[in-house]
Structure 1
């Protein structure tokens, strides 16, 4: 754990009996229950499996067996799930949002101890056709209304949102008609960011709101600086790293993270992928332009992916500014662009990358059930990654700056 000191701590745990006296020379089993660090993945696959089939078959349902198998794999690694709130998919018909299925899925995940995130409140892509042709003032009114309705309606179950997605390109996006790009062109990027954050903040002051983008150039830095200078409160900076053209390497990632860490805000790696098949040709500018009939996972690609997953996660968790890593896909079945990005093959079998990541999250960075004997003062020393723990089933926490904790055991 030498390179993870910013993620780990040590506490003196006092073990008390029912009479509140220290239990001396007592063996207790201490085990980690959850990481503080957000190890995330999309939970899109669960919407149909938990909530049933939606409008136009979107995220359609499947068998109970598939749900159980997928949940076992997903929950074996991750503690934070991103659910889809793309306006065009969530409300394809005006006034008929897909609220029931998303609430059922969010609650199902939350009951399993998963932190649920909504993505996104405002974006120019995947927009409903019924917005087209409306006056800009009406588009803005409806956008504000959508943000308030979502954040208020899901408060308590979803208190983490990508407030606005890809604002850098938003005013000049030219890949299909939508009503948000003209609004962004007329109002400006900072005004769009302000609208998303201030509406969401008012609707749920306890929410964590993320500014998210794929553009990691100086253009994003300029936007962040403008937003901060305008007095807009953002809670985290979202950074996308879809690496369909190959792993960018530790040196690139460290320099990029340092550039954005200088704003003093937590960094959320909101969308990250690494392939287990052939890489996308380097000349492709927009990843969406590379769509082929079949993109299989290969044995060589799977070994490469497993190695790169370990390198990537080590570098990210090793950087003190990173608070969250959200991978973009648990399985190749239905993956974005059909790319073999998942930890599971399309048939549900686990790739080497699954075991490789498990060896980190639930191995090297995890305290398994460990017997410890209390001393004369009824204490044991617990060292581990920040998170939730239990001693003989009684909960305690290990947090930054904490030096002591107490549990009371039954007789």
Structure 2
């Protein structure tokens, strides 16, 4: 389970605008502490703060008759972006020292790199870098994906691909800059688009899992019903029937990558090596069995059957 997000200026509540900056900071801190504490043990990974690259430039302004700026944007203008990030991370860390906290953004340009470098130099403890990939204008391809991976892997932190979408219908025109600006009455899934989506999702997931820095992938929406921007990006159609992409991804995860019950033969010394993904394993021979866990960056366990 993962929480998204603890702080985000774009959807700051309207009622927050009537408070002073000092009170806004207190309220935001209290909100972060409340969520992280209340859900500890169930949700222990959070996007601590979302899309800071465009804050406070992107103001998400209120209707003109209100005349009061977005409260979190206003707070960020007063104290700065890095202190706003510090607020989210340190409050969450105080509430649950064992939580995994992600700095998340859709802007994967050098502006995000500069922000990450500033945050790390300021001593903010970031557990993972979040990378969004809403590919409404078509699959990026392996070359661009690898380029993004290498640029952000150099910080030595795990990479979380936090918001991935691949379309099964018409692609958004390439000249659109802000994906929110593309509004159509209907955006259906099509047979040709569904086949393309299935191929794209296999290529994308293979590329990500092959990179040692990738720790997590979140697909953004399982169904077309109520999808972001109405895009046909789900793994199942609006009526709940699975698309080819659903079957293709399931085939990878539960088929090719899942270590199903497997019979192995020991060597002359009674040993058998096992190679697999991080996770929990059980081995049995006759009436004897044992369990072990493979963990990233941990010594390989040696299991002896009684």
When normalised by structure 2's length, the TM-score is 0.91
Matching residue of 1:279: 171
More strand by share: 1
In 2, the alpha carbon distance for the partners of 1:163 and 1:303 equals 36
Rate the CA distance shift 1:256–1:179 in 2: closer, same or farther, 3 A.
same
Q: Which string of whole-angstrom CA distances, capped at 9 and with x for unpartnered residues, describes residues 234-272 of structure 1?
A: 000000010001111111111111111111111110111
In 2, the alpha carbon distance for the partners of 1:127 and 1:136 equals 13
* 1:371-410 to 2 correspondences below 5 Å: 371-373=263-265, 379-391=271-283, 395-400=291-296, 401-406=299-304
In 2, the alpha carbon distance for the partners of 1:407 and 1:331 equals 45
Counterpart pick for 2:24 among 139, 145, 169: 139
* Paired residues of 2:166 and 2:201 also in contact (CA < 8 A): yes
Counterpart pick for 1:228 among 120, 136, 148: 120
In 1, the alpha carbon distance for the partners of 2:251 and 2:166 equals 18
Matching residue of 1:357: 249
- Structure 1 regions of 5+ residues with no counterpart? 1-115
Counterpart pick for 1:169 among 54, 60, 82: 54
The number of equivalent residue pairs is 293
* Paired residues of 1:397 and 1:405 also in contact (CA < 8 A): no
Matching residue of 1:249: 141
Counterpart pick for 1:213 among 105, 113, 126: 105
In 2, the alpha carbon distance for the partners of 1:284 and 1:320 equals 33
Superposition deviation, residue 378 in structure 1? 5.5
Counterpart pick for 1:152 among 20, 37, 48: 37
In 1, the alpha carbon distance for the partners of 2:95 and 2:195 equals 46
* Paired residues of 1:396 and 1:406 also in contact (CA < 8 A): no
Matching residue of 2:94: 202
Return the structure number with greater relative CO, CA threshold 8 A, min gap 6: 1
User: How large is the RMSD of aligned CA atoms in angstroms?
Assistant: 1.7
Q: Which string of whole-angstrom CA distances, capped at 9 and with x for unpartnered residues, describes residues 69-88 of structure 1?
A: xxxxxxxxxxxxxxxxxxxx
Matching residue of 1:9: none
Matched, 1:119 2:4: yes
* Paired residues of 2:290 and 2:303 also in contact (CA < 8 A): no
Matching residue of 1:260: 152
Superposition deviation, residue 158 in structure 1? 1.1
In 2, the alpha carbon distance for the partners of 1:338 and 1:256 equals 27
Superposition deviation, residue 119 in structure 1? 0.5
Superposition deviation, residue 388 in structure 1? 1.7
Matching residue of 1:367: 259
* Paired residues of 2:132 and 2:162 also in contact (CA < 8 A): yes
In 2, the alpha carbon distance for the partners of 1:288 and 1:356 equals 29
- Which sits farther off after the overlay, 360-369 or 385-394? 385-394
Q: Which string of whole-angstrom CA distances, capped at 9 and with x for unpartnered residues, describes residues 321-365 of structure 1?
A: 111111101111111111111111111111111121122112221
* Paired residues of 1:221 and 1:260 also in contact (CA < 8 A): yes
When normalised by structure 1's length, the TM-score is 0.68
Superposition deviation, residue 382 in structure 1? 2.4
- Which sits farther off after the overlay, 155-164 or 381-390? 381-390
* Paired residues of 1:396 and 1:407 also in contact (CA < 8 A): no
Superposition deviation, residue 374 in structure 1? 5.3
* Paired residues of 2:157 and 2:213 also in contact (CA < 8 A): yes
- Structure 2 regions of 5+ residues with no counterpart? 63-69
Superposition deviation, residue 132 in structure 1? 1.5
In 2, the alpha carbon distance for the partners of 1:126 and 1:157 equals 24
Superposition deviation, residue 283 in structure 1? 1.5
